[in-house]
A and B are shown apart, each in its own frame.
Chain A
């Protein structure tokens, strides 16, 4: 792909994205605007994450891309293909081996280490958007640390449904200052952000924002004293394939029997557990 520069962008563009990233690292949880470029993949398909990855990647980096927990998901494959085409760097599915992990909606089960950068793709970066549609207004609210709206959203959910029903993207407070969306990761992954050893970067391409959780930053999921934060119940199940418990599970249906069963959502984690188990287990792939 010699028609294009290393990592797709011209050097000026990469530098500009890195500059925004540095600012984001300096102000944990604050959404830094940047001149998001149009990418060869769809706006809304991970262009924010992709721009971060491309601006960071060097020739010695090892890249892992996951989409909803899977390395082999079509969109993850597609993003990897593009990075590989424009950089030629090495890819991996092994979480521990990667230096940059770009992910859509999951943080891997294996704890990340300080030599890694986690890049999360973000569709809607504004945690207050549901409550206030105007960007001008939400910017003011953040500036004044006026987060009644976020608390009100949770309170209304409790009034209506008896519990917080945020689903993925349960808002977090970063270092006691900024309320931030952790991107639509399941609530189960929220605690992994707290005091993470790895740098976590979040990129919203369409919304043109970059934000960050630097290593060892305090990240607390919003909750009330009498209504504590609760991860999804699916992690209470056992993986049918590798027998793992306490990780985020996919819910699947056995076609023949119609029975519900569970499997690790993090496919790389599941696979490495299988590989380390002595006796071979038959793996069925569901298509």
Chain B
């Protein structure tokens, strides 16, 4: 009768776990954590973002343990995260302070400070590079030396420039409604569950922790058919953000006394969404709204998609599911969606037995009614 009442469940589990390890190491190779950290930047960034914890090393361990399966790696990180006490909240960060590595605008050609392509796959041809089969560490090191020579001194200069925000330019023109600062203490969705209607801080947190694929798909639906907005990337920037915390002993001290605890890599997308607004006497005007996306690591599609969903939840047409905050926010979390889908693998003998009982009852009734009808 399947695996519920089987005596020896413990033994079966142990054997199954052994099998799992066998699958991981059966080819006799073991991936080093440094190798994962060095070569799987894309996966690490995605997993830190969905796992909602910024630590490349932990992400690398999770990737190794999960054999590269993102949903499993995110799961491991989230579970680990549950054991960590919350000791500090950082100071709010202003993204003007970012040490920019990449920064583009699709709205303006000449942005103050200029466009910086940085590292991107956008302009590579997606042709499988068979040379990588033979790539050696020696070659890589030689290439690095050469690269350093070419770029001598450049890197440091760039890092220190404080780039102005493209959005400020639009704001100066009066094209973007100037919204007042909302200096509310942000909610923390990991400490207090969502309440509806949600606050913007709750929405942004759930979106940034969302599964990359889910966030992307729903945002795609918004711009394809369920929202029909056509946003433009006002500014997309990738870079390191310094993080500061207050003096833990004297939290009331001034800004200068904050502690620098490190920098994290972030992707920020500020999306411009044109909308037609009706003014007095039926006069129509085009205005620009904003959609904001921010996530750990270099996850550009996700940050842009988040910006689209932020706008869609904030201002979108309520007829579309992509503007329904419960529809979007309750279903994009990787651990929650994969957990509930996978729970279907668990035995449902009792629940099914109960349903079966109801089904039989209705059948019996149908049969006896037919008999009476004859």
Contact = CB atoms under 8 A, between A and B. Distances in A.
A53 interface: no
Interface in A1-53: 4-5, 8-10, 12-13, 16, 33-40, 42-45, 47
Chain B interface residue number, banded: 35 or more
A81 B14 CA distance: 11
B62 to A, nearest CB: 12
A186 interface: yes
B350 A135 contact: no
Contacts of B353: 186, 232, 234, 250-251, 265
B83 A285 contact: no
Interface in A183-220: 184-188, 206, 208
B81 interface: yes
B355 A72 contact: no
Contact of A5 (B83, B339, B348, B354): B83
Nearest to A233: B357
A161 B340 CA distance: 29
A136 interface: yes
A66 to B, nearest CB: 10
A164 B354 CA distance: 12
From B193, B356, B357, B366, name the one whose CB has the most chain A CB atoms within 10 angstroms.
Answer: B357
A260 to B, nearest CB: 12
Interface stretch (B2-10, B150-158, B221-229): B2-10
Contacts of B191: 16, 35
B349 interface: yes
A39 to B, nearest CB: 6
Interface in B148-192: 190-192
Contacts of A134: 196, 326
A47 B335 CA distance: 12
Contacts of A33: 192-193, 195
A184 B347 CA distance: 13
B343 interface: yes
Contacts of B195: 33
B349 to A, nearest CB: 5
Contact of B4 (A5, A44, A69, A185): A69
B257 interface: no
Chief secondary structure at chain B's binding surface: helix
A208 B190 CA distance: 11
Contact of B193 (A35, A78, A263): A35
Contacts of A163: 358, 361-362, 365
A81 B341 CA distance: 23
Query: Interface majority SS on A: helix, strand, loop or mixed?
Result: loop
B339 A74 contact: no
Interface in A96-135: 104-106, 123, 133-135
A10 B85 contact: yes
B351 interface: yes
Contacts of A233: 357, 360-361
A43 B211 CA distance: 15
Contacts of A275: none
Given A12-B85, A133-B326, A67 B193 contact: no
B78 A74 contact: no
B358 to A, nearest CB: 4
A250 B349 contact: yes
Contact of B12 (A74, A81, A208): A74
Contacts of B350: 68-69, 105-106, 168, 184-186, 248, 265
Given A35-B193, A184-B351, A161 B12 contact: no
Contacts of A8: 82-83
Given A13-B82, A285-B7, A42 B361 contact: no
B197 interface: yes
A129 B133 CA distance: 53
Contact of B339 (A16, A184, A206): A206
A250 B5 contact: yes
B342 interface: yes
Interface in A137-170: 139, 161-169
B326 A123 contact: no
A40 B76 CA distance: 7
Contact of A166 (B9, B194, B349, B358): B358
- List the 4 closest A-B pairs by CB distance, nearest first: A43-B339, A44-B343, A38-B78, A37-B82
26 contacts: A5-B83, A10-B85, A34-B193, A35-B192, A38-B81, A39-B79, A42-B342, A43-B343, A45-B343, A69-B349, A70-B4, A72-B8, A72-B9, A75-B347, A77-B13, A104-B346, A135-B196, A164-B358, A165-B362, A169-B351, A208-B193, A232-B353, A232-B357, A233-B360, A267-B5, A286-B1
Given A12-B85, A73-B4, 6 more contacts: A39-B82, A42-B339, A75-B347, A165-B358, A186-B351, A250-B5
